[in-house]
């Protein structure tokens, strides 16, 4: 780790583990990107900018300044001065002009990493990180743009963020402020993105770059089911263990844009940040705007190393919860067991039988408040539905606690039902455009969380509930996206700020929650996995991965999710068959193995399970308690890709000291064959020997990696097994 500045060649060298990011100040103060990739010892890489070649720098060839700007690798390109590629920064001033010319003004290098006001971001102390701030100035408008770069000890990571301050005397309207931009000299890359919809989130898609622009984005008010604020640029040969991979991840939960553009010169510009679509922010004199943080990861050893870097960074430097390295309570959620059809007696029946099997927490899901018997009423009315919870919430919680179980509860704080006391009293609290029909989705509207009075009211109701009983877990849900985006409180020239102000309001609410209840286990959810992003991980150590609990579908979902996010953050439950979403049957054992790769719990009516399945629950809980620490803290190696090989999937968790590992294998399509399946195992110490706890055999780490092992005894579609390995003493 180290950030240096060379006065002679005016270059910044950001060394992060085995990666290097180089920036140069060139002629007339233009800030250029020189290099990003594997670390090298050289201190002057300005030759990579080709400044001695046509069209030359402006001081040598001012007649072609625009050609220079349209061809060079600008570190933070602005709109309107000759670079016709996608820009990172665009404004409209009081006279309607949009051009800005950002030039180097100053810089500073310091230990540690500053916070972003009101935004989630990675954190580190002075011994763990170093930060470079480069300030650019637009002379005409007196706008100062600060580019911030942080490196972390022992991690090939660059954390980037951008701030803009108006030091002029007139208002400026900000229309685009991307968090990261990197210009690459080549175009021979593949782009990997994560796409999907409800119940099939984060499917990995890999396509080659082509001339023009390729992008994924969200304009839904959240990061979305459809696309994730994450992408990878990788070399054509990149796989799990070989090739170059550049990861881009945005620590933000609202509208985003992730773009790659191949230029006429066959260079590639990669960008990530707030979606400029329908975005505008009024910057009054002396006002400042902070863009969210982007996390860049470089790997010279393929996608696996990139993923494990993200896992380590987000566990250690983003998730703040006391649970990030602690075993999570094994919970049972009543949603797929009962939907809205439950009362306190039914919940206690579930709790009693769950406690007997070793389950540690009961979570009461949707339907406990207002007069909610379906999804058409009562959101916003956060008081107990007494005809359902007849004994009262505190008595219910006390009875569950008396069984030796913890208690959790479901909220959807951002929403309001038309049929609710809250909406009848405050219809203007919902996001809406005057004189325009309000679009319903799931029979609900979205509350205007840009308003402090709305947030104060809703948070007060939530806090009263949480203080009324010993509630130790909250599932925070959001079941619809934004439409007719307007606020009754914002002025006309600030209405387009609502998209971002809404997200800031959500962050404010969550910050209050984890501050007032520091021991609370918070799990985020948005119709399943529509807000599975790093911004949410700052407040909650786990996120409900998907409403699709089918174990076989979850293989694809959890594979894509693991490209960026640690398995310890994935909410994963065992449910009944046929599955409520897919209708598929899978063995109970397989459902447990797949769910155990995440936070693990149950989503079923345990009172209806067979004795055989109940025995399986006991065995799964014993295994989870035995191996959970390894899965939470260890390194994950993906040994199969369910997207490219539909016949099987496999993964292994390896402890940091490589002394133990647990391998999971799922056979998706059985094969009529006389042979067992052979799998090569990565991640172990190649110079050590390991004992296989299934058959007692001992093999070297090198043999396990290059020769593999034979997986026997998998019979039929969806069969699965786990194998535990321990390093031998000699």
Catalytic residues: 477, 547
Report how far apart, in Å, the C-alpha atoms of 610 and of each of 235, 588, 614, 615, 651 are: 50, 11, 6, 9, 30
- CA-closest candidate to residue 255, choices 499, 514, 533: 499
Cβ neighbours around 696 below 10 Å, total:
7
Report whether 637 contacts 304 (CB < 8 A). Answer: yes
Say how far residue 379 (Cα) sits from the centre of its chain: 27
Strands 143-152 and 129-138: antiparallel
Give the separation between CA 660 and CA 423, rounded to whole angstroms.
55
Give the separation between CA 425 and CA 558, rounded to whole angstroms.
43
Size of the chain in residues: 730
Strands (E) in 139-283, as ranges, are: 143-152, 155-166, 172-184, 189-195, 203-208, 212-218, 227-235, 245-251, 256-262, 268-274, 281-283
Side-chain-facing half-sphere of 264: CA atoms under 13 Å: 6
Report whether 291 contacts 163 (CB < 8 A). Answer: yes
- Looking at residue 265, the DSSP 8-state letter turns out to be T
Give the separation between CA 411 and CA 212, rounded to whole angstroms.
44
Give the separation between CA 331 and CA 345, rounded to whole angstroms.
18
* DSSP three-state, residue 168: coil
**β-sheet bridge partners, residue 177:** 89
Peptide bond into 386 cis (omega under 30): no
Give the separation between CA 108 and CA 110, rounded to whole angstroms.
7
Tokens 């500073």 belong to 108
Report how far apart, in Å, the C-alpha atoms of 582 and of each of 314, 365, 498, 586 are: 32, 21, 37, 11
Give the separation between CA 452 and CA 488, rounded to whole angstroms.
13
Report whether 107 contacts 25 (CB < 8 A). Answer: no
- CA-closest candidate to residue 502, choices 189, 228, 254: 254
């Amino acid at each position: 780790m180290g950030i240096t500045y060379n006065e002679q060649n005016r270059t910044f060298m950001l060394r992060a583990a085995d990666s290097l990011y180089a920036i140069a100040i060139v002629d007339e103060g233009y800030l250029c990107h020189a290099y990003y990739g594997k670390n090298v010892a050289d201190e002057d890489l300005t030759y990579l900018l080709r400044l001695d070649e046509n069209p030359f720098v402006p001081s040598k060839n001012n007649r072609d300044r625009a050609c220079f700007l349209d061809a060079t690798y600008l570190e933070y390109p602005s709109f309107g001065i000759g670079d016709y590629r996608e820009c990172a920064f665009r404004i409209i001033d009081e006279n309607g002009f949009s051009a800005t010319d950002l030039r180097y003004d100053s810089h500073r290098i310091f230990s540690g990493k500053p916070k972003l006001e009101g935004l989630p971001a990675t954190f580190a102390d002075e011994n763990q990180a170093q930060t470079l701030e480069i300030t650019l100035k637009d002379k005409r408008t007196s706008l100062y743009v600060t580019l911030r770069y942080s490196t972390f000890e022992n991690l090939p990571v660059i954390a980037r963020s951008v701030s803009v301050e108006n030091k002029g005397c007139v208002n400026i309207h900000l229309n685009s402020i991307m968090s990261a931009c990197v210009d690459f000299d080549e175009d021979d890359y593949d782009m990997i993105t994560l796409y999907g919809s409800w119940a099939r989130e984060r499917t990995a898609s890999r396509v080659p770059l082509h001339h023009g622009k390729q992008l994924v984005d969200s304009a839904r008010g959240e990061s979305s089911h459809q696309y994730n604020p994450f992408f990878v640029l990788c070399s054509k040969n990149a796989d799990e263990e070989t090739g170059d991979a550049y990861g881009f991840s945005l620590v933000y939960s609202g509208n985003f844009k992730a773009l790659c553009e191949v230029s006429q010169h066959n260079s590639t510009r990669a960008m990530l940040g707030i979606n400029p679509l329908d975005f505008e922010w009024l910057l009054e004199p002396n006002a400042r705007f902070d863009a969210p943080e982007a996390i860049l990861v470089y790997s010279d050893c393929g996608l696996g190393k990139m993923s494990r870097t993200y896992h380590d960074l987000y566990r250690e430097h983003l998730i703040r919860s006391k649970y990030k390295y602690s075993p999570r309570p094994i919970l049972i959620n009543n949603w797929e067991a009962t939907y809205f059809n439950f009362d306190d007696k039914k919940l206690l029946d579930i709790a009693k039988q769950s406690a007997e099997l070793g389950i540690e927490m009961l979570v009461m899901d949707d339907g406990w408040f207002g007069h909610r018997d379906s999804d058409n009423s009562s959101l916003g009315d956060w008081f107990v539905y007494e005809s359902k919870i007849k004994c009262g919430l505190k008595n219910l919680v006390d009875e569950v606690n008396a069984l030796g179980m913890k208690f959790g509860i479901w909220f959807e704080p951002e929403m309001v039902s038309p049929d609710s006391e809250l909406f009848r009293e405050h219809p203007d609290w919902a996001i809406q455009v005057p004189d325009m029909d309000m679009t319903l989705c799931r029979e609900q509207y979205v509350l205007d969380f840009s308003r402090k009075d709305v947030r104060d009211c809703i948070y007060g109701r939530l806090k009263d509930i949480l203080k009324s009983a010993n509630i130790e877990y909250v599932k925070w849900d959001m079941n619809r996206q934004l439409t007719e985006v307007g606020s009754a409180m914002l002025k006309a020239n600030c209405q387009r700020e609502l998209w971002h102000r809404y997200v800031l309001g959500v962050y404010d609410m969550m910050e209050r929650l984890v501050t007032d209840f520091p021991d609370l286990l918070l799990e985020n959810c948005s119709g399943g996995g529509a807000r599975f992003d790093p911004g949410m991980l700052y407040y909650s150590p786990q996120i409900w991965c998907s409403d699709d609990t089918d174990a076989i579908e979850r293989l694809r979902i959890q594979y894509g999710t693991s490209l960026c996010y640690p398995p310890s953050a994935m909410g994963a439950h065992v449910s009944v068959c046929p599955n409520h979403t897919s209708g598929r049957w899978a063995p109970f054992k397989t459902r447990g193995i797949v769910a155990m790769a995440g936070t693990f719990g149950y989503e079923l009516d345990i009172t209806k399970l067979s004795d055989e399945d109940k025995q399986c629950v006991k065995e799964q809980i014993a295994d989870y308690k035995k191996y959970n620490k390894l899965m939470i803290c260890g390194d994950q190696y993906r040994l199969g890709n369910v997207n490219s090989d539909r016949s099987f999937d496999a993964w292994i968790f390896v402890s940091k000291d490589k002394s133990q590992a647990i391998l999971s294998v799922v056979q998706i399509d059985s094969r009529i064959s006389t042979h067992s399946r052979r799998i090569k195992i990565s991640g172990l110490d190649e110079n050590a020997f390991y004992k296989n706890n299934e058959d007692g055999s001992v093999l070297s780490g090198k043999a396990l990696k290059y020769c593999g092992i034979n997986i026997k005894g998998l019979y039929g579609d969806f069969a699965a097994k786990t194998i535990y390995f321990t390093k031998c003493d000699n």
